[in-house]
Chains A and B, each alone.
Chain A
Amino acid sequence: MDLAQGGPATALGVPSIDVAAVLPLLIVFTAGAVGVLLEAVLPRNQRWPAQVALSLTSVVGAGVALAVYVTGDFESTTTFRAEEASSGALAVDTPALFLWGTLLVLGLLALLLIADRSVEPGGAFVSKAALRGGAAGGTDTLTKEQTFTGMQTEVFPLTLFALGGMMTFCAANDLLTMFIALEVLSLPLYLMCGLARRRRLISQEAAVKYFLLGAFASAFFLYGLGLLYGYAGSVKLADIAVAAQGTDRSDTLLFAGLGLLAIGLLFKGSVGPFHTWTPDVYQGAPTPVTAFMAACTKVAAFGGLLRVLTVSFESTSWEWRSVLSVVAVVSMAIGAILGLTQRDVKRMIAYSSIAHAGFLVVGAMALTEDGLSATLFYLLAYGFTTLAAFGVVSLVRDSSGEATDLSAWAGLAKRSPLVAATFTVLLLALAGIPLTSGFVGKFAVFEAALSDGMAPLVVIALVASAIAAFYYLRVVVLMYFSEPAPDGPAVTVPGVFTTTAIAVGTIATLVLGIVPTFALDWASAGGFVF
């Protein structure tokens, strides 16, 4: 903000950019831009293979760049710094690198789900975005255009942009960068929600709802940003922390700003009571996109929340912790109890994600090393599990597309033991049964919260997870102990893409449950820099 006072005569300081550190980001964004060009120049039938190749290669490439950087002799640093003395716009520290790795792996799996064309002939995405649903609210008969086996391949660059935005979001070291990243990650997601091939109306409705509410939340975030700037005279996270320690200013701006800022972040993480969009959008969006949102958006949102709380607001934690505790309790209660009444698998997992968001808030509030590493691990573990779960959801289909009504899942174990067994493992992980990653994650998060003096919250969290376990198990019972309906859905044999995504997600769920040591070590490698 000091730049403007310079005047044309003074040479502006050239920001230092550590290209090696931000290479993964650059790769993802560049690939997104190239993807847009490919859309423009390639004929329709060549777009899908080109886009798939480009997006998968770029995400893997970004992963390799990240791995090279991490295995090298790196130090946690900030980059894009305008002056040597101050901190830069992006913080490339160990939590950010861990989150980048998490996002890239989960993003890769989500891309595999998105790219699949074997489960739904032509892919889960509409062939032409302007197609409207039938008049009767998303009837399932497909028009001629809808049965066209092509698909709207813009979804690939959109995914890459969203992924890049999420990665930037996790590393943003000032609120302005964070806001830009928030928009970069949100706008593609709004579009992607409306691209479902079947049930067009509900998909488009989901997109509009998500967009409107997302804009609302962004406005909160921006307002909070403004108030905090008014308080601290800077948008840098570190400067806000410094200002908060000096006590001669009125704290009204600080706390009002924090509250408004938190709303924007909690909205993205679908934490109750800012969760209202979650069930509708998860249900309406194409299932691969839901998987991407559920796994990656949550990682990004909580990555950002962790950074803001730890870097800027550690000194005032006494004041806000009790309030955020209530938020966590509300979220856990809503997720655990309302999940009981759901009849739709996707909505059920949506409520489950709200409950998990509550657990994550508990971890994020413990501003200790344990809390940080536990929350990071939880995000990684939860991402794999929920992604694979949505992958399985996309396989259970009847003539009208995905059969997401729970009654259709009755007796699934008889039709397809493998799919039922996979889904059982994933549900057990969501419920937090030992030997799955869900248990280790919950355990670590609760321990961290407890050792930071949040015992009552841990008790509530345990009760909530016990309640939530009931509806996961209800699905298991349904799959194993019920007679299949005569006209029930069939389980599609997935192609190699979906199979890979589900298999990797499930295996990771088990491996992280049995030998989580390596991942926990990575997660606890270091703290935030600023």
Chain B
Amino acid sequence: MIETSWLLIAFPAFGALVLLAGGRRTDAWGHWLGCATVIASFVYGLILFLSSDGSTQDTTVFSWIPVSDLQVEFGLRIDALSLAFVLLITGVGSLIHIYATGYMADDPGRRRFFGYFNLFVAAMLILVLGNGFVTLYLGWEGVGLASYLLIGWYQNKPAAATAAKKAFVMNRVGDVGLALAIFLMWSHIGSTQYSEVFAGIGQVDQNVVLAIGLLLLLGACGKSGQFPLQAWLPDAMEGPTPVSALIHAATMVTAGVYLVARSSPIYNANPDAQLAVALVGAFTLLLGAIIGCAYDDIKKVLAYSTVSQIGYMMLAVGLGPFGYALGIMHLLTHGFFKAGLFLGAGSVSHGMHGELDIRRMGGLWRKMPITFVTFGLGYLALIGFPFTAGYFSKDAIIAAAFGQEGWRGWVFGGAALLGAGITAFYMTRLVLMTFFGKARWQELKTADGKEYHPHESPPVMTVPMILLAVGSVGAGAFLALGDTLAEWLTPSVGALQESHGGVIGHSLVPFLVVGISAVGVLLAWLFVGRKDVPVERPQQVSAVVRAARADLYGNALNEALFARPGIWLSRALVFVDNRGVDGLVNGLAALLGGSSGRLRRLQTGFVRSYALTMLIGGFALVGALLMVRFG
């Protein structure tokens, strides 16, 4: 079995190749091919899963980059962790592919869309199946590329192009971190394969381990939209909704969590790096939740909710052996309910002529019963309603956070608990404004002046939503009861440890969570449920709301940290290249010749300024060489 595991990747890669290279000939059936390849991968993954005991099996496909000492092989690792991801990616992926055949039915580029979609699945599978960091990096860049292409799908929207660019740039910041971490591993351990890196990490200097851990974290932050690189993820919602559901909610953005879980031996070796992961997670989960309260765009709210939920996962994997399995469990359940919520949002917008502003909705539950029910189940799972998926996975994380000793217990536990309350608030607000209350759309026109005619989506869209809703409700119990998932993952990330002690006991946590969530729901009802919602956004708001609407100044921060210095540097260099040297030459000439006529003539002759650049460079080079030697 293991020898043929590359087939998992080959199916969608083949689909992408046929769809992208086949041109218009494949327009008629291309989308079905796109679905079929992903389903084939899912079936094959299921067979692998059933025949596997979760133990680690590496297989080399071919030797990729062999340069004397450096041996990078393209190999796959089948183990509990990668199989769990394979099933999530291909399972949820299949459903969203099917959904997209309906959602994209009217788009002339549907075939190309499925080509990119298959490309994404192939790259994501490479990411999780690779047995070394370089292979992971390959998938990492691949999913980034596919995500970039799909965010910019609606080419005529300038916002889409800007969002794609932003996603790309911020991901590059993270990628540099990941690449550096890989280089560090190679220079200190001599390999980039998982097996050798994890075996050798113990002999490496602690500072280096810390550096590797922090650099990996930077990579994870870029891909998973964690602070300080979170701002691209909500903008990425400019892409079609199936993209948001698959890439920017269920799978790709969780790659950072995968990376940390996969690198568990590295983080276990250095508690400081681990602490950094947990701090980033705790901070981001609050940040995302607070901003999520301020948006009126249904997809943006869900996007910040994703940022926040990934914060939970990061917090969990940052707790080390107490949390790896919990983080992965939340990742899996989140994959179900967030994908379901996004598909629901897509269904709403599909029925509302592309409208995304929840202030223009209301009372939709009558018009879209299936969407309402499935969305509602996803909502319950997200806020952690007892015995839904989120209840098991999120409560476990909060309990583990409170299980830490000293200040960590209070900080992490407190943040996670507070986050749960805010989550309940903004999600309730979202559901109330969308599905309940007055049908505000009745008095409004669409952007192109038509009446709204909300309607239920076709079965090809609703069936995947129903399946995901079932998952949202049931997956948690399935994975959590009897520690099924934790035991399954033990060969990959180590046994799940239960903390004893901590600041608040395990048995108390569920009551606290349910209590604070109930408060959140109640507050949301008080704010938006019992009175009419204004269609226009109120402008007279408190400073807190203003800050939240400004993404808690995340963009401003990124601007100041990355964009501004880059612009300055670029301007300065252009100035030096065009003006500085020429100016120097011209100035010298004017000084020497003293004639304006000569100055004018000189401005056309750039060759001499080029030569001067070379001369200055030459002097500097020779001078520096001599200084190094004799200085």
Q: Which residues of A approach B to under 8 Å, CB–CB?
A: 208-209, 212-213, 216-217, 220, 251-252, 255-256, 258-260, 262-263, 267, 272-274, 276-277, 280, 319-320, 322-323, 326-327, 333-334, 337-338, 340-341, 369-370, 373-374, 377, 417, 421, 428, 433-435, 439-440, 443-444, 446-448, 450-451, 455, 458-459, 462-463, 466-467, 469-470, 473-474, 477, 480-483, 515-517, 520-521, 524
Contacts and interface: CB of A to CB of B under 8 A. Distances in A.
20 contacts: A208-B607, A212-B611, A216-B614, A252-B626, A255-B629, A319-B629, A322-B624, A327-B621, A337-B569, A370-B67, A434-B137, A435-B138, A439-B138, A458-B183, A462-B180, A466-B176, A480-B155, A481-B155, A481-B161, A482-B155
A481 B163 CA distance: 12
Nearest to A452: B187
A476 B617 CA distance: 35
B151 to A, nearest CB: 10
Contact of A263 (B142, B164, B614): B614
B14 interface: no
Interface string B47-71: 0000000000000001111111110
Nearest to B621: A259
Given A341-B570, A369-B68, A477-B161, A262 B152 contact: no
A450 B626 contact: no
Given A213-B610, A481-B155, A440 B617 contact: no
Contacts of A370: 67-70
B625 A443 contact: no
Contacts, number: 181
B194 to A, nearest CB: 17
B584 interface: no
Interface in B481-495: none
A273 B68 contact: no
B613 A443 contact: no
A518 to B, nearest CB: 10
Interface of B: 20, 23, 62-70, 72, 134, 137-138, 141-142, 145, 148-149, 152, 155-156, 160-161, 164-165, 168-169, 172-173, 175-176, 179-180, 183, 186-187, 566, 569-570, 573-574, 577, 606-607, 609-611, 613-614, 616-618, 620-622, 624-626, 628-630
Given A326-B624, A451-B187, A466 B67 contact: no
Nearest to B577: A338
Contacts of B68: 369-370, 373, 524
A277 B186 CA distance: 38
Contacts of A276: 609-611, 613-614
B385 to A, nearest CB: 41
A443 B621 CA distance: 28
Nearest to B153: A481
Interface of A is mostly: helix
B377 to A, nearest CB: 36
A326 B617 CA distance: 11
A327 B629 CA distance: 17
A320 B625 contact: yes
B621 A213 contact: no
Contacts of A256: 622, 625-626
A417 B172 contact: no
A459 B211 CA distance: 13
Contacts of B577: 334, 338
Given A439-B141, A459-B180, 5 more contacts: A212-B611, A252-B629, A260-B622, A337-B570, A466-B175
Contacts of B65: 440, 443-444, 516-517, 520
Contact of A259 (B62, B173, B618): B618
Nearest to A208: B607
B614 A217 contact: yes
Given A444-B70, A481-B155, A524-B67, A466 B621 contact: no
A87 to B, nearest CB: 26
A505 B156 CA distance: 33
A433 B569 CA distance: 25
B429 to A, nearest CB: 34
A263 B155 contact: no
Contacts of A435: 138, 142
B168 A434 contact: no
A467 to B, nearest CB: 7
A341 B578 CA distance: 12
A443 B72 CA distance: 10
B139 to A, nearest CB: 8
A433 B141 contact: yes
Nearest to B622: A259
A521 B68 CA distance: 9
A517 B620 CA distance: 40
Nearest to A466: B172
Query: Which 7 pairs show the lowest CB-CB distances between chains A and B?
Result: A259-B622, A273-B617, A276-B610, A434-B138, A481-B155, A466-B172, A255-B625
Nearest to A451: B187
Given A252-B626, A433-B145, A470-B168, A323 B621 contact: yes
Contacts of B609: 276
Given A338-B574, A482-B155, A517 B621 contact: no
A466 B66 contact: no
Given A323-B624, A338-B574, A470 B610 contact: no
Contacts of B625: 255-256, 258-259, 319-320, 323
B570 A338 contact: yes
Nearest to B612: A276
B183 A450 contact: yes
A443 B66 contact: no
Contact of B156 (A319, A467, A477, A483): A483
A192 to B, nearest CB: 19
Contact of A323 (B183, B616, B628): B628
Contacts of B164: 477, 481
Contacts of B179: 462
A327 B625 CA distance: 12
A470 B610 CA distance: 27
Contact of B187 (A455, A466, A483, A515): A455
A166 to B, nearest CB: 22
A267 B180 contact: no
Nearest to B175: A466
Contacts of A258: 625
B570 A434 contact: no
A255 B574 contact: no
Nearest to B567: A340
Residue among B65, B574, B613, B616 with the highest chain A CB neighbour number at 10 A: B65
Given A260-B618, A463-B176, A480 B70 contact: no
B349 to A, nearest CB: 21
A450 to B, nearest CB: 5
B607 A448 contact: no
A272 B618 CA distance: 11
Contacts of B628: 319-320, 322-323
A495 B628 CA distance: 55
Contacts of B141: 433-434, 439
Contacts of B137: 434
Contacts of A252: 626, 629-630
Contacts of B187: 450-451, 455
Contacts of B180: 458-459, 462
A448 B613 contact: no
Given A374-B67, A481-B155, A482-B155, A274 B617 contact: yes
A433 B613 CA distance: 33
A273 B616 contact: yes
Contacts of B611: 212-213, 216, 276
Contacts of A474: 165
A220 B615 CA distance: 9
B67 A444 contact: yes
Contact of A262 (B134, B172, B621): B621
B67 A373 contact: yes
B150 to A, nearest CB: 11
Contacts of B618: 220, 259-260, 263, 274
